[in-house]
A and B are shown apart, each in its own frame.
Chain A
Amino acid sequence: MTTPALRDLVIRHPGQLDKQPFLEVVDLKVHFPTDDGLVKSVDGLSFALDRGRTLGIVGESGSGKSVTSLAVMGLHTRPSSERTRPGAQLSGEIYLDGDELLSKTPEYVRSLRGKRMAMIFQDPLSAMNPYHTVGQQIIEAYRIHNPVNKKVARKHAIDMLGRVGIPEPSRRIESYPHQFSGGMRQRAMIAMSLSCDPDLLIADEPTTALDVTVQAQILDLIRDLQSEFNSSVVLITHDLGVVAELADDVLVMYAGRAMEYGSAEQLFNRPAHPYTWGLLGSIPRFDRVGAERLLAIKGTPPSLINVPSGCPFHPRCGYAARNGGLSEDVRPELAPVEPGHTVACHLSPTEREQIWEHEIAPKL
């Protein structure tokens, strides 16, 4: 609840902000033209993130989480006149420390990548170049943005490897990625992305490819390093457990849109959207007795070419029929349910409260 005004941002109200958030995304749209039609991977997404805080973006596969992060990093192929294969069409605004990125040249955004914003990827084995040593890859990342000689960069790389908990860093720096274990690789990846001390770290499913014990270590590491470097973290995941572990704020995405946005405390204790209820219901719980079945959300995520009318979640929602076809016809906008907590849903506050208290909460 530290930045309530920010989270109410459906439309930006600059006058209400006495402080600019470090990262602010306003009405972001990322569309991909294909032969089958326009794929609307992200369709009007807004969020904000303060320095030193962690935002968790959750959602099923294909909800637009990774597309959003790649848009912030400027890693989408933009349309170009000489290509017959069009790239991504981006619109909206992305502010990094007050700097609007979408209007900048690719070269300018490139100069920020790695230096002010860095990214960790899901599978560290495929995300690291198999032909170069771990050291070479970290040194390279450092030297792009820092005019130092190889010796200094190497020392820095060893230092970084040590800080992410790799034993004997001065020896392991000569290793190739395939000689590392999965957890070590992700540590090296983190060392690489943090080598230029970025203010924003985007972690795209950083623990998905790792086994559970290593997952916990990596999450601890990210948390420790975040407080050490005081960087903002965007954590992309489909794992609500990971979000609960790390995130200050949570953004729930569905079909390229924000469904619910609030602090982690609000989202886990008073979730307001039927989709969030569904996500929470599908977490396996070990403190429950018996072979209770998980409450899966029925159906599959919608096609991003023909997004359902009205609320994109309505075909899968158990409460869509309650408001006389409103969910089918009218797109719900994010609206506050309490300070700092917004939800895009047509359920009235009383209905919502009743369903939550009587139908959902007892089952969770």
Chain B
Amino acid sequence: MRRLLWAVVLLIVLSMVTFSIFYLVPRLGGATPETLAARYVGRAATAETVHLTAEKLGLLDPVIVQYWHWLKGIFVGASYDYGSGVEHCPAPCLGYSFITKQPVWPELLDRAPVTISLVVGASIIWLIAGVSIGVISALRRGTVFDRGAMGVALAGVSLPIFFTGLVSLAFFSYRLGITAPGGTFVPFSQNPALWAYSLLLPWITLAFLFSAQYARLTRAGMLETMSEDYIRTARAKGLPERMVILKHALRGALTPVLTIFGLDVGLLLGGAILTEKTFSLNGLGKYAYDGIVSGDLPKILGVTLVAGFFVIMANLIVDLLYGVIDPRVRLE
């Protein structure tokens, strides 16, 4: 319960910090409320209309007031009056893009399924692949398998996704034609089979990058746990080796993996920018990328908050899971 409260507090602090940054950065770059407002009025606007627009949009208000308006918008919605018309942004209004003249929230909702599909699929693949490779490597330390797997893992960690992604797209999708070309996405609700088919290559590419790291982490964890005294005890009881590993070693070895897993999934849910861009998937990451390219601050602000929300939630879940996995951290 206390952790839940902390998560909420953290989220509020996060929104404040992000908002201030997005408020401050343009001003540090020399922008005034007028120059900001000038982007939203016609080209032939007089200085007076620009000032009026800035006032109506609340750009002249102090940062706290602006933050308050923005925060209020999340719960009750907001309307933006920029001279030539009034735009409504219904609750929850996470911001309003004056460039596309669209509220941010519905667009985020629209794109979230793409990112979630990508991340959930990939994370399952990398967790299974990484952990099993790591476990086998640890148990067969020094064998050809171990060396080969760890070599590939090193390559996997080192190769950026825009390299592996483009190479595999070129090879598997365009030359062999066995996977979907870039930019394909079929919602799960429409056709689960096509959904999986369309995401297969992004999943594998993203999972390759991460499973490499997970294999190394699992291997290290396994090697450490296997040398624990309680593993010797389990063997001394006459437990078959398979059960020693599954019942006694794996749990200890996977605790550090779980921490990283929570963080990684949380982070990626906020937008797997490189993967989405490489495979032209219209997810949150691509949305943020578009926002960055066009200088559309509300978009970036929106994605940042959603990403922060996911990271905080992921951490909260990991914290709670810790209690389930390790009785020593369980609250009395």
Interface of A with B (CB < 8 Å)?
A: 73, 75, 82-85, 110-115, 118-119, 121, 123, 126-133, 140-141, 144-145, 176, 178, 189, 192-193
Task: Given A131-B327, A178-B327, A178-B328, check contact A192 B237 (CB 8 Å).
Answer: yes
The answer to whether B143 touches A127, judged by C-beta atoms less than 8 angstroms apart, is: no
Chain A residues whose C-beta falls within 8 Å of the C-beta of B237 in the assembled complex: 113-114, 118, 140-141, 144, 192-193
The answer to whether B238 touches A83, judged by C-beta atoms less than 8 angstroms apart, is: no
Q: Which of B140, B229, B248, B327 contacts A121 (CB 8 A)?
A: B229
Chain B residues whose C-beta falls within 8 Å of the C-beta of A118 in the assembled complex: 236-237
Task: Given A112-B238, A131-B252, A131-B326, check contact A84 B143 (CB 8 Å).
Answer: yes
The answer to whether A130 touches B140, judged by C-beta atoms less than 8 angstroms apart, is: no
The answer to whether B229 touches A110, judged by C-beta atoms less than 8 angstroms apart, is: no
Which residue of chain B is the closest to A122 with respect to CB atoms? B229
- How distant is the Cα of A20 from the Cα of B235 in the complex, in angstroms? 28
- Flag whether B325 is at the interface (Cβ < 8 A): yes
- Flag whether B62 is at the interface (Cβ < 8 A): no
Which residue of chain B is the closest to A119 with respect to CB atoms? B236
- How distant is the Cα of A193 from the Cα of B228 in the complex, in angstroms? 18
The answer to whether B142 touches A84, judged by C-beta atoms less than 8 angstroms apart, is: yes
- Flag whether B240 is at the interface (Cβ < 8 A): yes
The answer to whether B229 touches A123, judged by C-beta atoms less than 8 angstroms apart, is: yes
The answer to whether B233 touches A115, judged by C-beta atoms less than 8 angstroms apart, is: no
- Identify the 4 closest CB pairs spanning chains A and B, nearest first: A114-B238, A84-B142, A113-B238, A126-B229
Closest Cβ of chain A to B321, distance in Å, is 13
Q: Which of B142, B229, B230, B328 contacts A85 (CB 8 A)?
A: B142
- How distant is the Cα of A84 from the Cα of B142 in the complex, in angstroms? 5
Q: What are 10 inter-chain pairs, A to B, with CB distance below 8 A?
A: A83-B140, A84-B143, A112-B238, A114-B236, A118-B237, A121-B229, A126-B228, A128-B230, A130-B230, A131-B327
- How distant is the Cα of A131 from the Cα of B326 in the complex, in angstroms? 6
CB proximity to A under 8 Å, residues B299-326: 325-326
The answer to whether B140 touches A144, judged by C-beta atoms less than 8 angstroms apart, is: no
- How distant is the Cα of A1 from the Cα of B228 in the complex, in angstroms? 40
Q: Which of B143, B232, B235, B236 contacts A83 (CB 8 A)?
A: B143
The answer to whether B233 touches A129, judged by C-beta atoms less than 8 angstroms apart, is: yes
The answer to whether A75 touches B236, judged by C-beta atoms less than 8 angstroms apart, is: yes
CB proximity to A under 8 Å, residues B228-256: 228-230, 232-240, 247-248, 251-252
The answer to whether A121 touches B233, judged by C-beta atoms less than 8 angstroms apart, is: yes
- Flag whether B69 is at the interface (Cβ < 8 A): no
Chain B residues whose C-beta falls within 8 Å of the C-beta of A115 in the assembled complex: 238
- Flag whether B101 is at the interface (Cβ < 8 A): no
- Flag whether B3 is at the interface (Cβ < 8 A): no
- Flag whether B39 is at the interface (Cβ < 8 A): no
Closest Cβ of chain B to A203, distance in Å, is 12
- Flag whether B27 is at the interface (Cβ < 8 A): no
Closest Cβ of chain A to B241, distance in Å, is 8
Task: Give the most central of B233, B235, B247, B325: most A CB within 10 Å.
Answer: B233
Q: Which of A75, A128, A133, A193 contacts B235 (CB 8 A)?
A: A75
Which residue of chain B is the closest to A114 with respect to CB atoms? B238
Chain A residues whose C-beta falls within 8 Å of the C-beta of B235 in the assembled complex: 75, 110, 113
The answer to whether A110 touches B252, judged by C-beta atoms less than 8 angstroms apart, is: no
Chain B residues whose C-beta falls within 8 Å of the C-beta of A176 in the assembled complex: 327-328
The answer to whether A130 touches B238, judged by C-beta atoms less than 8 angstroms apart, is: no
Which residue of chain B is the closest to A195 with respect to CB atoms? B237
Chain B residues whose C-beta falls within 8 Å of the C-beta of A73 in the assembled complex: 236
Chain B residues whose C-beta falls within 8 Å of the C-beta of A178 in the assembled complex: 327-328
Task: Give the most central of B141, B236, B240: most A CB within 10 Å.
Answer: B236
The answer to whether B140 touches A82, judged by C-beta atoms less than 8 angstroms apart, is: yes
The answer to whether B141 touches A83, judged by C-beta atoms less than 8 angstroms apart, is: yes
Chain A residues whose C-beta falls within 8 Å of the C-beta of B328 in the assembled complex: 130, 176, 178
Q: Which of B229, B236, B247, B327 contacts A113 (CB 8 A)?
A: B236
Chain B residues whose C-beta falls within 8 Å of the C-beta of A111 in the assembled complex: 238
Which residue of chain A is the closest to B233 with respect to CB atoms? A127
Q: Which of A112, A129, A133, A144 contacts B230 (CB 8 A)?
A: A129
The answer to whether A127 touches B238, judged by C-beta atoms less than 8 angstroms apart, is: no
Closest Cβ of chain B to A181, distance in Å, is 15
Chain A residues whose C-beta falls within 8 Å of the C-beta of B142 in the assembled complex: 83-85
Chain B residues whose C-beta falls within 8 Å of the C-beta of A131 in the assembled complex: 248, 251-252, 325-327
CB proximity to A under 8 Å, residues B201-252: 228-230, 232-240, 247-248, 251-252
Chain A residues whose C-beta falls within 8 Å of the C-beta of B247 in the assembled complex: 132, 140
The answer to whether B234 touches A130, judged by C-beta atoms less than 8 angstroms apart, is: no
Chain A residues whose C-beta falls within 8 Å of the C-beta of B228 in the assembled complex: 126
Closest Cβ of chain A to B225, distance in Å, is 10
Chain B residues whose C-beta falls within 8 Å of the C-beta of A110 in the assembled complex: 235, 238, 240
Task: Give the most central of B228, B229, B248, B325: most A CB within 10 Å.
Answer: B229
- How distant is the Cα of A110 from the Cα of B328 in the complex, in angstroms? 31
Which residue of chain A is the closest to B232 with respect to CB atoms? A75
- How distant is the Cα of A145 from the Cα of B328 in the complex, in angstroms? 29
- How distant is the Cα of A178 from the Cα of B230 in the complex, in angstroms? 13
Closest Cβ of chain A to B203, distance in Å, is 31
Besides A130-B327, A193-B236, 14 other A-B contacts (C-beta < 8 A): A83-B142, A83-B143, A84-B143, A114-B237, A115-B238, A118-B236, A119-B236, A121-B232, A121-B236, A131-B326, A133-B327, A140-B247, A144-B237, A178-B327
CB proximity to A under 8 Å, residues B27-50: none
Which residue of chain A is the closest to B141 with respect to CB atoms? A85
Contact string against A for B residues 137-163, beta-carbon threshold 8 Å, 1 for contact and 0 otherwise:
000111100000000000000000000
- How distant is the Cα of A73 from the Cα of B234 in the complex, in angstroms? 12
Chain A residues whose C-beta falls within 8 Å of the C-beta of B325 in the assembled complex: 131
Chain B residues whose C-beta falls within 8 Å of the C-beta of A114 in the assembled complex: 236-239
Which residue of chain B is the closest to A179 with respect to CB atoms? B327
Which residue of chain A is the closest to B248 with respect to CB atoms? A129
